[in-house]
Amino acid sequence: MVLVLLGPPGVGKGTQAVRLAEEFHGAHVSTGDLLRAARRDGTPLGRKAQGYMDDGELVPDALILDLVREHLSEIASDRHVVFDGFPRTTAQADGLGGVLAGLGRTVDLVVLFEAPDETLIKRLSGRRTCPSCGAVYNVFFNPPEVAGSCDRCGATLEHRTDDQAATVRRRLEVYQEQTAPLIAYYEGSGAAFERIRADRPVEDVYADFRALPEVAK
């Protein structure tokens, strides 16, 4: 199955994607994580992406599609794939359709996670991430046992630079302008389309996600 998780920044796409991919032994493909890894490694892509990410703007479609194409080629064609934060524009959605068609696959399910802006802003301002193992915490909703330190590996937690208030506001605008049109795009496609209210505890959101007929079968 190929799943696309849609929704604004901070709605919990990554949190839910990691859980589902772990449970199904599927591949979790987060373009945000891939770009941050490229930045950490100082690759040409990472250097090109940095300014866009720090400003809360989208990285150009061509760079993203090359990244996803390369990453998908390493994933077995019978493995479940959960896309998180991709596609983000209709050009990326068209590109994904083409890449999947070449692999004899298609987008099977699109899940839209929804929450009010004030919830998103609070979640992003409280998010802390582990630069070493990728674990995600929240100082308000899901704090680490020792403040500032990763429960899993002990590394010092970071506050993402694009989680600062001004950048968060821009990311929310960019979502409305460039990514929200994908709702109509996918509602009119052959893929199943589901909506989940995500302004509830992680476990409740996951229970609804897991119970979707396309996921539960």
Token match 């929310």: residue? 172
In the complex with ligand AP5, the residue whose CB is nearer, 141 or 185, is 141
Residue 13 is among the residues annotated as catalytic for this protein: yes
In the complex with ligand AP5, the residue whose CB is nearer, 78 or 118, is 118
Q: Which of 19, 36, 127, 128 is catalytic?
A: 127
CB of 67 to ligand AP5, least distance (A): 9
Q: In angstroms, rounded to a whole number, what is the distance separating the alpha carbons of residues 40 and 181?
A: 31
| 3-state secondary structure at position 109 | strand
Query: Got the DSSP string for 149-176?
Result: B-TTT-PBPB--GGGSHHHHHHHHHHII
CB of 9 to ligand AP5, least distance (A): 3
Q: Which of 19, 36, 88, 128 is catalytic?
A: 88
Residue 39 is among the residues annotated as catalytic for this protein: no
Positive or negative, the CA dihedral 156, 51, 114, 27 is negative
DSSP letter, residue 108 = -
In the complex with ligand AP5, the residue whose CB is nearer, 192 or 202, is 202
Q: State how far the alpha carbon of 83 is from the alpha carbons of 14, 75, 117, 144, in Å.
A: 9, 13, 22, 26
- Nearest to 21, CA basis, from 134, 116, 128: 134
CB of 30 to ligand AP5, least distance (A): 6
Residue 19 is among the residues annotated as catalytic for this protein: no
In the complex with ligand AP5, the residue whose CB is nearer, 82 or 138, is 138
CB of 25 to ligand AP5, least distance (A): 20
Q: Which of 160, 170, 195, 200 is catalytic?
A: 160
Q: Which of 13, 36, 123, 128 is catalytic?
A: 13
CB of 79 to ligand AP5, least distance (A): 20
Residue 88 is among the residues annotated as catalytic for this protein: yes
In the complex with ligand AP5, the residue whose CB is nearer, 53 or 191, is 53
Is the Cβ–Cβ distance between 131 and 26 less than 8 Å?
no
Residues that bind ligand AP5 (CB under 6 A): 7, 9-15, 31-32, 35, 52-53, 56-59, 64, 85-86, 88, 92, 123-124, 126-127, 136-138, 141-142, 162, 171, 198, 201-202, 205
Residue nearest to ligand AP5 (CB): 32
Return the exposure string of 73-88: e unless at least 16 CB atoms fall within 10 Å of the residue's CB, then b.
Answer: eeeeeeebbbbbbbbb
Tokens for 75? 């994933």
What residues are labeled active site?
A: 13, 88, 127, 160, 171
